[in-house]
């Protein structure tokens, strides 16, 4: 039986790329997002089972989890839904922007995780084939489950203009660490991927409220990560034997040495 993984924020960017990568490797996927038209197109392309759901709506998330259970359950969860709004200072930022960032990056992550944990635990009660190391060591005789939270290097280092997004991603990073502690002793690994500079079609454009010219500036004269780059690393964490937990994977393009420093122009030996 193939593993089945739920991916939130699956309608575009890293979420859609992650669904595609899982499908390439033979996983069953459940793609969750707000935009039904995007989900249907992804389903036609990958065979994913799709559920329209806003992760900030607790009742909708509960219904989503019941649908996942009723249609085959899941042994994996990727909390990818998130986003940034604005680059204003702490002094001038809008509280509504901060609320929205906390709702989707933190509360939404908690909603989905809490709703799906019982489903993931059910998966640990049945043996799962087709995974390296599945029948070895202390993992023999039962299944396993995996949770991976997509955060950001913005949750590891702060920068001017990042206030609300920094705060939300720092919180998501903290929630991931707490969850790992709370699930200690269960066959459920909790992982985190924190990308740096990634160019997707919507993230920076949404953050800058549709200003295409401004949204292009961070990517000038540099080769950033792509959604596909992140998806390969993210899915690779699921491909490890079940006793291997990649707690935190920090992923940046070679040209970015920190949140403060991006080399623009050709890379060359000195």
Catalytic residue positions, numbered? 165
3-state SS, residue 184? coil
- The CA–CA distances, whole Å, from 201 to 11, 35, 55, 125 equal 11, 15, 21, 40
Phi, psi torsion values for 16, nearest 5 degrees: -65, -40
- The CA–CA distances, whole Å, from 236 to 201, 213, 241 equal 23, 34, 10
Beta carbons of 150 and 164 less than 8 angstroms apart: no
The token pair that represents 6 in the structure block: 């739920």
Strands (E), the chain: 4-8, 28-33, 49-52, 76-79, 145-150, 188-195, 198-199, 225-226, 249-251, 256-258, 261-262
User: How far is the C-alpha of 11 from the C-alpha of 202, rounded, in Å?
Assistant: 11
Which pairing describes strands 261-262 and 256-258: parallel, antiparallel, or unpaired?
antiparallel
């Amino acid at each position: 039986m193939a593993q089945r993984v739920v991916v939130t924020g699956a309608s575009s960017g890293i979420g859609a790329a992650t669904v595609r990568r899982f499908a390439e490797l033979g996983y069953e996927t459940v793609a969750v997002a707000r935009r039904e038209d995007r989900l249907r197109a992804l389903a036609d392309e990958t065979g994913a089972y799709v559920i329209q759901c806003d992760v900030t709506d607790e009742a909708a998330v509960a219904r989503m989890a019941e649908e996942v259970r009723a249609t085959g359950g899941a042994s994996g969860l990727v909390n990818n839904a998130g986003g940034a709004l604005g680059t204003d200072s702490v002094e001038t930022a809008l509280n509504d922007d901060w609320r929205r960032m906390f709702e989707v990056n933190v509360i939404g992550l908690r909603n989905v995780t809490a709703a799906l944990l019982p489903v993931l635990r059910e998966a640990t009660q049945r043996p799962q084939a087709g995974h390296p190391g599945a029948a070895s060591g202390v993992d023999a005789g039962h299944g396993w489950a995996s949770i991976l939270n997509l955060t950001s290097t913005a949750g590891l280092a702060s920068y001017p203009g990042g206030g609300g997004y920094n705060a939300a991603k720092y919180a998501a990073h903290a929630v991931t660490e707490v969850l790992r502690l709370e699930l200690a002793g269960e066959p459920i690994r909790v992982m985190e991927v924190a990308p740096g500079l990634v160019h997707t079609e919507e993230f920076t454009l949404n953050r800058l409220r549709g200003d295409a010219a401004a949204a292009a500036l961070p990517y000038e004269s540099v080769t950033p990560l792509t959604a596909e780059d992140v998806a390969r690393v993210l899915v690779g964490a699921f491909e490890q034997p079940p006793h291997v937990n990649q707690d935190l994977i920090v992923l940046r393009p070679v040209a970015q040495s920190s949140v403060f420093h991006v080399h623009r122009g050709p890379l060359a030996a000195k």
